Chain A
């Protein structure tokens, strides 16, 4: 192994020479400069909750995801309906998913500790989420209760995601404000099913991630 600390010293000294700064920065001054950076972009949303959910739904549909608005008492029934329509039985679920969501008649397997080969054998995955952003139609997952490790929502070809209205914010900055406290957790933003535009700029759904996405929006 090359001596990394030589390289490190050389790079730091080259940077400091170029910037003409001393080795120990005045951290308070740097922090003050950072705090004074201009931030006049839109941070707080302005929509009422009806408009907000409409926008979120609209974005998801544009991405070719299925969206259903349901009420909390119907979660389990709606899950059964969608899985039935999709013809999927063997479904991965993460730790911490509320058991009352699970309808009878399906093979739900707690797959939080499954390896990728085991996950590859399943027909879909059911999760909740941490937060969702209406303006961009994005849903954010973290390694937390009802969401599980990243591979869980990646390997199976179908993802059914339950999003509560209170989890939907309008802007990307609002989204980050909600994530700040748990920023260290592995985090995935997904906006529609996996897609590529690498061939002649045609958007093609489903390359490596789940090709099918359904969202249950709980009011």
Chain B
């Protein structure tokens, strides 16, 4: 059966999608408000740990080590989880994972399931698939509930509804929970959710979750959350199905002592999130009677082959790189048109698609490095972005369309010119003459013609100076040993438009 392995939201490129979102000032205000708050809290609680850098170093080393021996640790996890009474399933792709989960739910004749927030289920389009098969999934995380009832998409993976403000949440709850008199205080909204969901926790017998960490040494699973909805789903139902990416395994139980320090501080700016649950298999008289782990590959294993990009899989999904990213700040998560937004999404999504889709994402960054600085497992996102841009170019050069593309021709032409000083100087002189038609009265180039117009959409360009640096230098050398010329023109460069926000 050949199904779509991934479910990207659309085929729009980042610049196209970003344009629409930039026009939505409400979303931008909400995103800016939320990310500023989390970032300030994060900086405060990270700053109080003198050993933060050492925790990052260890976290990165543990994750890198686990990935370098992923087969070994997965096999160990499988053994230990099975020994503790769990069942381990393997899914090569989204379609396979969907089939396994559906079959498990149908085996228990369940018509409804309760769910804890999991990006992995979003990645495989689980909710859509369950609904198509007559099973209703209830999201229980407050933000996910807002998204689900509002027929919306998550825009951040720690705070998926951060693009909605309280008035918008109230409208959704009033409509969907039939509560016309609901107030708009966050307390009112949370207590509406508590009442709405409690009945479901007590009634529904199958739960679906993700996981933050799998522990190879004893088969333990760890879930980090805030509200207690996770504990409800992990504890009360008879059957628990956890869908987890194969990269989530860590070698030993005590490795959690690193990640349970770095994850909460990076994710929500708390010293510890309100609840962490850690369990192994099934335990008589405590929690589900049946426990399944579905281990999902879905494009992860090939990433291991790329020595430079492998670090992408170290990610512990804290979301700190989103909050720190100036591009995410402006566009919010939806512009990435992907389950995983922000800087990590920009490197993870195209790789999960074997670089066949989402190829504009490695360019959705200014390479400022803020993401790398905050990453608790030291993923060098800018380095991977550049590496992936190189891959996109290499791929393009293999196709005829790519070879004849403007980008490639432009780059090849630039390489040709820069290779030889006579060619460069000739081109500069021609440019000085040719540019006369595009230089505006203010002395800047504001609009380049035709296919070059993209560059000047958001920037002004200085024209080529009357004398190039090379000409000036040659002249200066000739004039020696007299006084050097004082009116040295600056080399040309691009200037951001002052009025662009």
Contacts and interface: CB of A to CB of B under 8 A. Distances in A.
B64 to A, nearest CB: 9
Contacts of A193: 274
A14 B297 contact: yes
Interface stretch (B65-73, B326-334, B382-390, B419-427): B65-73
A176 B220 CA distance: 14
A132 to B, nearest CB: 11
B228 A209 contact: yes
B268 interface: yes
A209 to B, nearest CB: 3
Contact of A11 (B140, B191, B275, B297): B297
A206 B190 contact: yes
A200 B58 contact: no
B159 A208 contact: no
B310 to A, nearest CB: 9
Interface stretch (B18-26, B96-104, B175-183, B485-493): B96-104
Contact of B251 (A34, A40, A112, A184): A34
A40 B57 contact: yes
B46 to A, nearest CB: 13
B71 A33 contact: no
Contacts of A15: 70-71, 74, 246, 301, 304
B228 A208 contact: yes
Nearest to B302: A18
Given A1-B100, A21-B71, A196 B226 contact: yes
Contact of A154 (B61, B231, B251): B231
B349 to A, nearest CB: 19
B251 to A, nearest CB: 6
Given A172-B260, A201-B159, A7 B96 contact: yes
A197 B159 contact: yes
B286 A150 contact: yes
A176 B256 contact: yes
Given A40-B54, A188-B277, A149 B285 contact: yes
Interface string A38-58: 111110000000000000000
B144 to A, nearest CB: 9
A17 to B, nearest CB: 7
Given A172-B257, A197-B159, A204 B190 contact: yes
Nearest to B100: A2
B interface secondary structure, majority: helix
B271 A200 contact: no
Contacts of A190: 274-275
B254 A199 contact: no
Contacts of B71: 12, 15-16, 19, 21, 23, 25
Contacts of A150: 231, 234-235, 277, 286-287
Contacts of B75: 12
A10 B300 CA distance: 13
Contacts of A17: 305
A112 B287 CA distance: 12
Interface residues of B, number: 97
A72 interface: no
B391 interface: no
Interface in B144-196: 146, 159, 161-162, 165-166, 169, 186-187, 189-191, 193-194
B363 interface: no
A17 B297 CA distance: 14
A206 B190 CA distance: 8
B30 to A, nearest CB: 8
A136 B69 contact: no
B96 A208 contact: no
A188 B304 contact: no
A58 B377 CA distance: 29
A42 B33 contact: no
Given A14-B301, A206-B190, A195 B227 contact: yes
B258 A41 contact: yes
9 contacts: A7-B90, A7-B91, A30-B69, A39-B54, A40-B57, A187-B279, A200-B165, A207-B190, A208-B198
Given A18-B301, A177-B254, A197-B268, 12 more contacts: A12-B71, A14-B297, A14-B302, A15-B301, A18-B303, A41-B54, A191-B275, A195-B274, A197-B159, A206-B191, A207-B190, A208-B197
Interface of A: 1-2, 4, 7-8, 10-12, 14-21, 23, 25, 27, 30, 33-34, 37-42, 59, 63, 112-113, 116-117, 120, 133, 135-138, 143, 149-151, 154-155, 172-173, 175-177, 179-180, 183-202, 204, 206-210
Q: Lowest 7 CB-CB distances: which A-B pairs, in order? A: A209-B228, A208-B228, A18-B305, A136-B272, A149-B286, A207-B227, A18-B304
Interface of B: 30, 33-34, 37-38, 50-51, 54-55, 57-58, 61-62, 65, 68-72, 74-75, 84, 89-92, 96, 99-100, 103, 140-143, 146, 159, 161-162, 165-166, 169, 186-187, 189-191, 193-194, 197-198, 201-202, 218, 220, 226-229, 231-232, 234-236, 246, 251-254, 256-258, 260-261, 264, 268, 270-280, 283, 285-287, 295, 297, 301-305
